[in-house]
Amino acid sequence: MDEQIRRIVLVRPGELTIKGRKTRRLFEKLLLNNIKDSLDSAKISFEIKAEPGRIYIYTDDAEKAAEQVCRVFGIKSLSTALEVEFDTLDELVKKARDIFAEHVKGKKFAVRVRRRGSHSFTSMDVAKKLGNALYPLSRGVDLKKPEAEVFVEIREKRAYFFTEVKKCCGGLPLGSEGRVVALVSGGIDSPVAAWYMMRRGARVDYVFCNLAGEAAEAAVLSVLKVLADKWSYGYRPKLYVVDFRELLYELRTKTEPSLLNVLLKRYMYRAAEMIAEKTGAEGIVTGEVLGQVASQTLRNLYVSSLAVRAPIYRPLIGLDKDEIVAEAERIGTYRFSLLVKEYCGAFAEHPKTHASLDEVEREEEKISGEILRKAVQSAKVIDLRSAAMPKLTEKYEVDEIPQNAVILDLRPPSKYGRWHLKNSLNIDFMELPLLLNKLDKNKTYVLVCDEGALSLEAARLMREKGFKAYSLRGGIRRIQKKKGYFRR
């Protein structure tokens, strides 16, 4: 290739270009820093240059760099392009014809030209002259629905030739709008909500109120690693893992069961607020969607929100589930979120959908505030960018129950009494560690719950104690329609 022709990534910033001069300078500095972090993270060698409205990345691996940089918030679009220098219009057109000839061959085409600087010709002059030069090679010109497009951007004595404009994520540079903490469960919704806040420039740290143990933590970590490694350029997000098992036990044993969902949500908000105060965050982000579950009715969201003073941001509040799933697939978290099991022990069987603040506060008087304070103070802090992707515990799961296995049903007695696997034994998940010394290590155990979250953690715990234990994949709900498995 001509030594005067260089392959680059041409980056077009988005909304920051309409900001005032001082704000724009700050945002541009953040964007450049985040682009550099993105490329460094992928170990791509590069040089970078910025002009008003454009950023140029010089690298030997333009395609890889373009894919990486397109995930940097604040970028509207980009193109892999060839940078050429020229002196005259004729020289410019000749170089463009040589480069685009194969692209338009036998096709109907269109020429798109943009120009900035002082020249003796207009953008239309370039388009006409280049169009005439390419016409004999093509099947003609079609400006509305071309089979091939060629793009020329001219900046003083440089021109950039490319054939594609790749749309990127847009938004504002990460870090331009402060910091928030996101309450995450690892399911489909909360990671998408966090992504939307990052897209608008907020640095997001994460709070996971762990109800089930290390298996649940590993599943959530696998989801958040996607957000950290693929999208969080320019800072190092943290995950705060708060052990909520003692608090959940207190709520389940001492408070009104129909209010469990709202009570638990209020304590999670409080945990997030306490961590937000430590980190300087200016709000709490959740993946809540209006009316999706009992704790997300308009009334229950209102009552839950009154537990804290910090603002609660709900980017997904008006979306349908299929819209959220589509976004999760696009940003890359969906397939990992599917591996996160719903913790059935944290939900009321008959939840109130219209709780009153007075009754909720009366129930909270039964719980010592010291439990939450201790849990938050001892929270595990994980640097997500440096953490290794966890190995999920699929080896603990089985799809079918082996012959002669002992089945331990970890659900509440009320659920067990209505539906259970034949010959299964009912043991509350919280009491299982106390009963292990009464179980025979020579036997095989299969643990079950509604969805498979409790049973997966229980299987891990039993394995650590030397038992041959498995979790039934998908739990009771996956197999309850199979004939012969259940009785009342």
Q: Catalytic residue positions?
A: 449
Read off the amino acid at residue 290. L
DSSP 386: T
147 Cβ contact list (under 8 Å, min separation 6) = 107, 108, 109, 139
CA distance 48 to 310: 40
Q: What is the crossing angle of helices 453-464 and 214-231, to 10°?
A: 110
Half-sphere CA count of 219, side-chain side, radius 13 A = 28
Of 234, 238, 260, 299, nearest to 414 (Cα)?
A: 260
- Secondary structure (3-state) at 189: helix
Of 17, 69, 70, nearest to 46 (Cα)?
A: 69
CA distance 84 to 160: 6
Of 270, 288, 284, 309, nearest to 202 (Cα)?
A: 284
- Secondary structure (3-state) at 151: strand
Dihedral Cα 227, 231, 233, 235, nearest 10 deg: -30
Of 86, 8, 20, 4, nearest to 47 (Cα)?
A: 8
288 Cβ contact list (under 8 Å, min separation 6) = 189, 193, 296, 301, 314, 316, 317
CB atoms within 10 A of CB 261: 22
List beta partners, residue 16. Answer: none
- The helix/strand count (H/E) of the chain reads as 17, 22
- Secondary structure (3-state) at 269: helix
CA distance 64 to 73: 17
DSSP track, 438-466: GS-TTSEEEEE-SSSHHHHHHHHHHHHTT
Read off the amino acid at residue 34. N
73 token code pair: 């918030």
- By the 8 A CB rule, do 472 and 396 touch? no
The β-bridge relationship of strands 406-409 and 486-487 is: unpaired
